[in-house]
Structure 1
Amino acid sequence: MRKWLIIAVLVIVFDQITKLLIQSHLQFGEMITLIPGCFSLTLTYNLGAAFSFLANAGGWQRHFFTVLALAVSGFIIYTLRRHHQQTRFALALSLILGGALGNVIDRVAYGHVIDFILVYWKNWYYPAFNVADSAICIGAALLVIDSLARPQHTREKTL
């Protein structure tokens, strides 16, 4: 169990360090192009959830998403305790846990989530995201892979 929590903590640390670096080097909205035409760093703030969902909801969403992430984190820790020996499943949960808590730290400390990774092609832009969001997405993909790779009789016992 300890190694899975260490992975979650490493995600949180890497997430927070990258956000602090971006905040110290960029002004809000400023962009540094790393790969012309497809990849930049930019400092943006997300008041909502994924893709700025509920960003303009008046402020209650900050508390809602904080409580939701903490509740989900508690459930993840409970599930990790029960299934820590299932490597892919536990890794997925660890990444999601670290990502969720990384964004909770932002919501509590700043009232918004700091995003800075911008991927685009010509006039198409993917919404800006951060290391925590990346860990959550990778963890979610691993959960799908794990559920597809696991024999049917063990899928039913996972949760």
Structure 2
Amino acid sequence: MSIKKSVLLIFLVLLIDQISKIYIKTHFVLGESYEVFEWFKIHFIENSGAAWGAKLNDFLPITENTAKLILTVFRLFAVAGIGYWLYDSIKKHFSTTLILAVSLIFAGALGNIIDSVFYGVLFNESNGQVATMFSDEPYGSWFFGKVVDMLYFPMIDTTWPSWVPFFGGKNFSFFDPVFNIADMAISTGVGILLVFNKKAFGHKSEEIPTDESALQENE
């Protein structure tokens, strides 16, 4: 996979991710939902923590702002590392499967980093109102933005039968996480690496030999 194709894929993922986030941010109030299908909803939430909404200050004796800053800086280093991995993989002509997966992971990580670094100064508060882009009263500052999530797939939302021990009468729902396009790209990239592990980390992609190299092989 060439660097041009990789850059194009990253650009498309980022474009779709940011367009969807900006649209949701400027058209939905925080917590607002729109039912597309019974099993799929657009549900606007903001995530200021790590994966699954976890926060460092839940585990460490630090303030929420410090935890957010540490997380954002960590994400920046992680994106830089993934970017170098991608560049090195392309330069060394590693498999197309590996480059595709790393490109998706890089695009997704970069998409969420944009939210964390810039959204705090680009938008005002979404709580109780629809946010305005380039607001004179931003809700945060550089590096303290919140990640916008909106894709929600409540495929099962029911109540346990009363006869079920311990859980009877309680609500049961399947697939509660709310995520975004960037998260999808990361999950897809990781999934490719897990499912096609041997293909991704196997032989390098085939290169077309030059006339000079072909002559050397025949000698």
Q: Could you state the TM-score of these two structures normalised by the residue count of structure 2?
A: 0.62
**1:49-128 → structure 2 map (5 Å cutoff):** 49-54=50-55, 58-59=64-65, 60-61=67-68, 62-84=71-93, 86-110=95-119, 111-120=145-154, 121-122=156-157, 123-124=172-173, 125-128=175-178
From the superposition, tell whether residues 148 and 87 of structure 1 become closer, same or farther in structure 2 (CA, over 3 Å). same
From the superposition, tell whether residues 31 and 143 of structure 1 become closer, same or farther in structure 2 (CA, over 3 Å). same
Identity percentage of aligned residues: 33
Distance (Å, rounded) in 2 between the aligned partners of 1:151 and 1:116:
33
1:27 corresponds to which of 26, 29, 35: 29
From the superposition, tell whether residues 49 and 101 of structure 1 become closer, same or farther in structure 2 (CA, over 3 Å). same
The Cα offsets for residues 107-145 of structure 1, whole Å up to 9 and x where unpaired, read as 011211100001112042421100000000001111112
The Cα offsets for residues 27-80 of structure 1, whole Å up to 9 and x where unpaired, read as 1000001112x2100111011121112265512334334324333333333333
- 2:193 corresponds to: 143
From the superposition, tell whether residues 108 and 142 of structure 1 become closer, same or farther in structure 2 (CA, over 3 Å). same
Name which of structure 1's ranges 84-93 and 18-27 shifts more when overlaid on structure 2.
84-93
Confirm or deny: 8 A CA contact 1:118 1:126 kept in the other structure: yes
Distance (Å, rounded) in 2 between the aligned partners of 1:150 and 1:77:
13
Which contiguous aligned blocks of 4+ residues in structure 1 show a shift greater than 2 angstroms? 59-85, 148-152
Query: Which structure has the larger Rg?
Result: 2
> Which has more helix, going by share of residues?
1
Q: 3-state DSSP class of the match of 1:116?
A: strand
**CA shift for structure 1 position 21:** 1.4
Instruction: Identify unmatched segments of 5+ residues in structure 2.
Output: 59-63, 120-144, 158-171, 205-219
Distance (Å, rounded) in 2 between the aligned partners of 1:85 and 1:73:
15
Confirm or deny: 8 A CA contact 1:47 1:55 kept in the other structure: no
Distance (Å, rounded) in 1 between the aligned partners of 2:184 and 2:88:
21
Instruction: Identify unmatched segments of 5+ residues in structure 1.
Output: none
Q: Could you state the TM-score of these two structures normalised by the residue count of structure 1?
A: 0.84
From the superposition, tell whether residues 65 and 28 of structure 1 become closer, same or farther in structure 2 (CA, over 3 Å). farther
Q: 3-state DSSP class of the match of 1:48?
A: coil
Higher relative contact order (CA 8 A, sep 6+): 1
